[in-house]
């Protein structure tokens, strides 16, 4: 009767049904291992900054003109949009920028749509302004940077950087590659006032000729017996030599004045103060970032393999070097977790073997591994990836997960020494310590839960800590009981 009484309840049922307990254990282990193969690995959690940036180009305008013609009009237009916390504008030569901070309760995507609608209604922008660029700021996840440097011209370095970018984006696990440290290409057309007077031209007439001669225009379709043919005029020009052939004026006698006859066409770089050097030599930088489900460590391996192969075919005097390799920092944090985990497993096993029982030591040690595999299973369900913050939470959890199993195991061992059978000692020992263990886990969980309700950007970062710690503790509690 006493054995039957003890086997009542969920804990007693599991003690008497080893198959169910083992199935639950194998389910957690298998789910954790499968999650490890597919879980997102990134350096820092990807998130929205709850900020919207509005940039309005106004070429050739002074900061005072930009403030009056752009910034003030943007601020007036969006001031009444619901969900805006703060508006900060910055006027610079050639462009105006407005940064909008979104309230915590508001949806950034909805606020973005409302702002776009209000900006589109503005009809008082100066004619020289270009189309506003409105975007939501999100954290970019740079992985690694390639420095292309050597004794070569800026154009040579940029061409090589463009080639590296195209090669890397062709890789299946890389899609975000940007070039920095070099000026963007620009085709400049310079005409002297004396030349304009000689030919009786104006800047507006030359600009119109260039604009109308560099276009790709769809011209509809033509239906034939063999099917429908799309007609398109392709006249877009991309190089300085092509612009030089543009006809600006055709005289009554049939002679033509081309752009090369009256203007100096330069196919070069923008005239801005930008110079990058690496190891004392001129350089171009190729920055590789991750998006979506891409793996930081996988991207770094792909880039390093590519660089090793590419080094053999570089022109003389040009070198490639890796810089700002974030994967090294992430890998070192993962190595720290592994070292601490191995050390913890060994110490727990040795201590429990010396003072208690070999089987008890084995299952308590296995419990640590099960707890972490269960956490890896739960993390993707809460949209938590393997990153610097979650790895810190896992390292912090190492010192918490062992307590439950040791307390329960020691109590079972005590009843075994008193002469109880294995099953009876397990049921009695677990039931006696179930409430203290549950309360201990809840106390630790309640200490971390407030972090999940922190507002703002910091809250989006800190929410990872309670999710990971509570997941480890929850699986540890199930495993211990």
Q: What domains are there in the chain, each with its CATH number? A: 2-38+329-480 (1.20.1640.10), 48-138 (3.30.70.1430), 141-184+273-324 (3.30.70.1320), 186-269 (3.30.2090.10)
Q: What is the mean pLDDT of residues 423-433?
A: 70
Q: For residue 3, what pLDDT is reported?
A: 47
Of residues 19 and 449, which shows the higher confidence score? 449
Is the CB of residue 292 less than 8 Å from the CB of residue 298? no
CB neighbours of 319 closer than 8 A, spacing ≥ 6? 148, 149, 150, 311
Of residues 8 and 371, which shows the higher confidence score? 371
The token duo for 80 is: 């009444």
Question: Across the chain, what does the average pLDDT equal?
Answer: 81
Q: What is the mean pLDDT of residues 290-301?
A: 83
Q: Has residue 260 got a pLDDT over 80?
A: no
pLDDT band at 4 (very low <50, low <70, confident <90, very high): very low
Q: For residue 2, what pLDDT is reported?
A: 45
pLDDT band at 219 (very low <50, low <70, confident <90, very high): low
Cα separation, 233 vs 212, in Å, equals 12
Phi, then psi, of 41 in degrees rounded to 5: -115, 120
Rg (the chain; Cα; Å):
33
Instruction: Name, of 45-59, 239-253, 389-403, the range with top average pLDDT.
Output: 45-59
3-state SS class at 178: strand
The token duo for 436 is: 């203290």
Q: For residue 5, what pLDDT is reported?
A: 45
pLDDT band at 15 (very low <50, low <70, confident <90, very high): low
Among 15-29, 263-277, 359-373, the least confident range? 15-29
Concatenating the DSSP letter of every residue in 303-372 gives HHHHHHHHGGGPPTTEEEEEE--HHHHHHHHHHHHHHHHHHHHHHHHHHHHHHS-HHHHHHHHHHHHHHH
Is the CB of residue 223 less than 8 Å from the CB of residue 165? no
Going by C-alpha positions, the residue among 166, 189, 203, 370 that lies closest to residue 268 is: 189
Q: Has residue 261 got a pLDDT over 70?
A: yes
Residue indicated by tokens 């495993």 = 479
Q: What is the pTM of this model?
A: 0.72
Provide the percentage of residues in the chain whose pLDDT is more than 90.
1
Which letter does DSSP use for residue 450 in this model? G
Of residues 238 and 378, which shows the higher confidence score? 378
Q: What is the mean pLDDT of residues 138-163?
A: 86
Instruction: Write the Ramachandran bin of 401: left for phi over 0, alpha for psi from -120 to 50, otherwise beta.
Output: alpha
Which letter does DSSP use for residue 383 in this model? T
The token duo for 131 is: 């189309």
Q: What is the pLDDT of residues 21-45, one digit of tens each?
A: 778 788 888 888 888 888 887 777 7
Q: For residue 204, what pLDDT is reported?
A: 82
Cα separation, 74 vs 96, in Å, equals 9
Going by C-alpha positions, the residue among 185, 57, 195 that lies closest to residue 126 is: 57
Q: Has residue 9 got a pLDDT over 70?
A: no
Output b/e per residue, 298-320; b: 16+ Cβ within 10 A: bbbebbeebbeebeeeeeeebeb
Q: For residue 11, what pLDDT is reported?
A: 64
Is the CB of residue 187 less than 8 Å from the CB of residue 243? yes
Which letter does DSSP use for residue 127 in this model? T
Q: What is the mean pLDDT of residues 269-284?
A: 83
Among 11-25, 65-79, 176-190, 376-390, the least confident range? 11-25
Is the CB of residue 32 less than 8 Å from the CB of residue 89? no
Is the CB of residue 412 less than 8 Å from the CB of residue 15? no
CB neighbours of 127 closer than 8 A, spacing ≥ 6? none
pLDDT band at 317 (very low <50, low <70, confident <90, very high): confident
Pairing relationship of beta strands 264-269 and 133-138 according to DSSP bridges: unpaired
Is the CB of residue 356 less than 8 Å from the CB of residue 413? yes
Provide the percentage of residues in the chain whose pLDDT is more than 70.
91
Question: How buried is residue 16: exposed, middle or buried, by Cβ count under 10 Å (0-12/13-18/19+)?
Answer: middle
Cα separation, 274 vs 280, in Å, equals 15
Q: For residue 201, what pLDDT is reported?
A: 79
Among 233-237, 286-290, 298-302, 347-351, the least confident range? 233-237
Output b/e per residue, 39-58; b: 16+ Cβ within 10 A: bbbbbbbbebbbbbebbbbb
Q: Has residue 425 got a pLDDT over 80?
A: no
Helix segments in 190-239, DSSP class H: 193-199, 203-213
Q: Has residue 481 got a pLDDT over 50?
A: yes
Of residues 45 and 16, which shows the higher confidence score? 45
């Amino acid at each position: 009767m006493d054995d039957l009484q003890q086997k009542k309840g969920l804990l007693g049922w599991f003690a008497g049904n080893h198959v169910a307990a083992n199935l639950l254990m194998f389910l957690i282990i298998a789910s954790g291992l499968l999650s490890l193969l597919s879980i997102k690995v990134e350096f820092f959690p990807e998130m929205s900054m709850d900020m919207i940036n509005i940039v309005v180009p106004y070429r050739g305008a002074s900061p005072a003109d930009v403030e009056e013609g752009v910034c003030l009009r943007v601020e007036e237009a969006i001031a009444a949009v619901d969900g805006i916390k703060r508006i900060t504008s910055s006027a610079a030569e050639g462009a105006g920028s407005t940064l909008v901070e979104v309230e915590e309760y508001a949806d950034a995507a909805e606020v973005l749509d409302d702002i776009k609608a209000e900006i589109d209604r503005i009809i008082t922008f100066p004619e020289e302004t270009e189309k506003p660029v409105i975007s939501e700021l999100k954290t970019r996840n740079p992985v690694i940077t390639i420095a292309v440097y050597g004794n070569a011209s800026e154009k040579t370095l940029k061409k090589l950087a463009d080639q590296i970018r195209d090669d890397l984006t062709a890789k299946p696990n890389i899609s975000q590659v940007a070039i920095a440290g070099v000026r963007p290409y620009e085709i400049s057309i310079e005409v002297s006032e004396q030349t304009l007077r000689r030919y009786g031209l104006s800047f507006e007439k030359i600009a119109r000729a260039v604009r109308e001669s560099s276009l790709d225009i769809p011209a509809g379709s033509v239906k034939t017996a063999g099917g429908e043919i799309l007609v398109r005029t392709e006249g877009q020009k991309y190089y300085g030599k092509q612009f030089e052939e543009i006809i600006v004026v055709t005289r009554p006698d049939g002679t033509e004045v081309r752009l090369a006859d009256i203007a100096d066409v330069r196919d070069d770089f923008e005239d801005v103060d930008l110079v990058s050097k690496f190891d004392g030599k001129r350089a171009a930088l190729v920055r590789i970032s991750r998006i979506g489900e891409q793996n930081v460590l996988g991207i770094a391996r792909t880039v390093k393999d590519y660089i090793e192969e590419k080094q053999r075919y570089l022109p003389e005097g040009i070198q490639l070097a890796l810089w700002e390799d974030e994967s090294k920092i992430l890998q070192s944090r993962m190595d720290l977790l592994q070292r601490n985990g191995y050390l913890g497993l060994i110490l727990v096993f040795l201590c429990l073997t010396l003072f208690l029982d070999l089987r008890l030591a084995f299952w308590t040690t296995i419990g640590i591994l099960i707890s972490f595999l269960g956490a890896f299973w739960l993390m993707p369900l809460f949209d938590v990836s393997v990153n610097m913050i979650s790895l810190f939470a896992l390292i912090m959890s190492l010192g918490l997960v062992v307590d439950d199993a040791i307390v329960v195991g020691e109590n079972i061992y005590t009843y075994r020494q008193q002469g109880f059978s294995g099953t009876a000692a397990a049921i009695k020992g677990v039931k006696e310590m179930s409430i203290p263990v549950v309360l201990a886990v809840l106390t630790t969980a309640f200490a971390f839960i407030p972090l999940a309700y922190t507002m703002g950007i910091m809250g989006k970062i800190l929410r990872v800590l309670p999710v990971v710690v509570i997941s480890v503790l929850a699986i540890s509690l199930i495993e211990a009981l």
